[in-house]
Amino acid sequence: MKRIALVVAGTAVVGVVACTHTAAPKAASPGHGGTRVPVSCARQYRAWEAGPGKGIIPALNAVAGAEISRDSRALTVALKAAKPAVARGARSPVPACADPGGYWDVLMMHVNAAVTSENSASSTRAALEGVPKIKAQLTAELKSVVSRLPPRRSR
């Protein structure tokens, strides 16, 4: 019965994320007489990271780290702290251009299932199986995107 609940919860998250994962935004370019041109993916990611995505990646890092350490207490704390971030991540996914492998949707599905597992250690562990590997793959994609931008200037 718990496995069915996990599948249902995961499917719901994927559905929500799939509906909200939008195409690259456009920005007006004054040099082209108002013609709309795509915003660079790296800039989209940085804007997401500073805006609607603020705090999501660190929360996911904490969950993945606690899972790797196999520390049940740390995992419980990380999942509780990550719950609001996971909800925001489902509503406001990383820009699609920054995640061509589609790792975001899978990661959100796993972590959401763990967050909603009602403190059952076995269902939490089952939901988080593979999360560190998925998180590492997503991180590699995001680093690739961010590396295309010059470093941020200090203010």
List pLDDT tens digits, range 94-133. Answer: 999 999 999 999 999 999 988 887 767 788 888 888 888 9
Residue that the structure tokens 């929360």 belong to: 59
Is the pLDDT reported for residue 151 higher than 50? yes
Is residue 114 domain-resident? yes
CA 29 – CA 145 distance, rounded (Å):
22
Name the band, by pLDDT with cuts 50, 70 and 90, for residue 148.
low
Give the pLDDT confidence score for residue 85 in this predicted structure. 92
CA 87 – CA 94 distance, rounded (Å):
13
Domain containing 115 equals 57-148
Report how many domains make up the chain: 1
